[in-house]
Amino acid sequence: MSLKSKLHDLKEKYKGKKMAPAFNALHTFLYLPNEVTHNGTHIKAADDLKRTMNTVIMALVPCLIFGMYNAGYQHYLAQGMIESANGFLGASFWTIDNLLIGAWTILPLVAVSYGVGLAVEFLFAVIKGHEVEEGYLVTGMLVPLIVPVDIPLWMLAVAVIFGVVIGKEVFGGTGMNILNPALTIRAFLFFAYPTWMSGDKVWVHGAVERDQMIAAGQSNLDAISGETILGSYAQNSTVAYDYWDMFWD
């Protein structure tokens, strides 16, 4: 018996029960459903909402790959390990090292985005007894593209739960929401955790950590050039030097 037949049998077995939407979603995601329209139709096509969303995901994959290269490029450029590329066609941009460090930072964001978001979708489908909606398939890909690369994963998970529940499910689900879930997630992060969403350093892998090390005096730099000591106090930063440093080392 093929996997498609087994999934179809499970769907029929649990039809009308709480877990039916979960089996049905897995079945229709992997295969075309066995059911067909019995009444008259206006349009005949093999597409459905799930496959339309998958087409959008495939269109976003090049953006995701470019983002991986760019994340690695910005990381190594900030560390002074590579020369600035002459635009995005420079030899120092399209390197395997840039891709690897970018994938290392971005793929966990993709995993958390899809894992948490689809879990919420499945939960609401089981509780409300309706089919799993496919709208989050695209949202799950958009979220890693609009958040900083070093954002803590737990922070992203909280934002995804908020965005899916408040941005979509409370309005009835896909097609009835008045808010864009991806933008709702980003707005939540911006207002709840502004220090992780503002400035230029949050978009460069390792930049925030390096700043924290410098502020704590754990860097091997000989000097620091930046705002005055009052600026550090205004940001509640720990100052690693005192007034006696003006007179001797």
DSSP for the chain, please give it: --HHHHHHHHHHHTTTSTTHHHHHHHHHHHS--S----S--S---S--HHHHHHHHHHHHHHHHHHHHHHHHHHHHHHTTSSPPPSGGGSTTTS-HHHHHHHHHHHHHHHHHHHHHHHHHHHHHHHHHT-PPPSTHHHHHHHHHHHS-TT--HHHHHHHHHHHHHHHTGGGTSTTT-SS-HHHHHHHHHHHHSGGGTSSSGGGSTTHHHHHHHHHTT-S--S---SS-HHHHHHTTPPP---GGGGT--
Predicted confidence band of residue 81 (pLDDT cuts 50, 70, 90) = confident
Least confident of 34-38, 109-113, 206-210, 234-238: 34-38
Predicted confidence band of residue 156 (pLDDT cuts 50, 70, 90) = very high
pLDDT at 51: 75
* pTM: predicted TM-score of the whole model, two decimal places: 0.72
What would the mean pLDDT of 54-74 be, rounded to a whole number?
A: 90
pLDDT over 70 at 232, yes or no: no
**CA dist., res. 115 & res. 157, Å (int):** 9
Predicted confidence band of residue 224 (pLDDT cuts 50, 70, 90) = low
pLDDT over 60 at 154, yes or no: yes
What would the mean pLDDT of 77-84 be, rounded to a whole number?
A: 79
pLDDT at 112: 95
pLDDT over 70 at 8, yes or no: no
pLDDT at 17: 66
Predicted confidence band of residue 210 (pLDDT cuts 50, 70, 90) = low
C-beta of residue 151 within 8 angstroms of C-beta of residue 189: yes
Predicted confidence band of residue 35 (pLDDT cuts 50, 70, 90) = low
**CA dist., res. 56 & res. 63, Å (int):** 11
**CA dist., res. 179 & res. 211, Å (int):** 36
Least confident of 15-29, 52-66, 79-93, 190-204: 15-29
Predicted confidence band of residue 207 (pLDDT cuts 50, 70, 90) = confident
C-beta of residue 144 within 8 angstroms of C-beta of residue 109: yes
C-alpha distances (whole Å) from 48 to each of 29, 52, 56, 134 are 11, 6, 13, 10
For the chain, give the mean pLDDT.
Answer: 77
pLDDT at 202: 78
pLDDT at 197: 86
% pLDDT > 90, the chain = 26
pLDDT at 245: 64
**CA dist., res. 16 & res. 30, Å (int):** 21
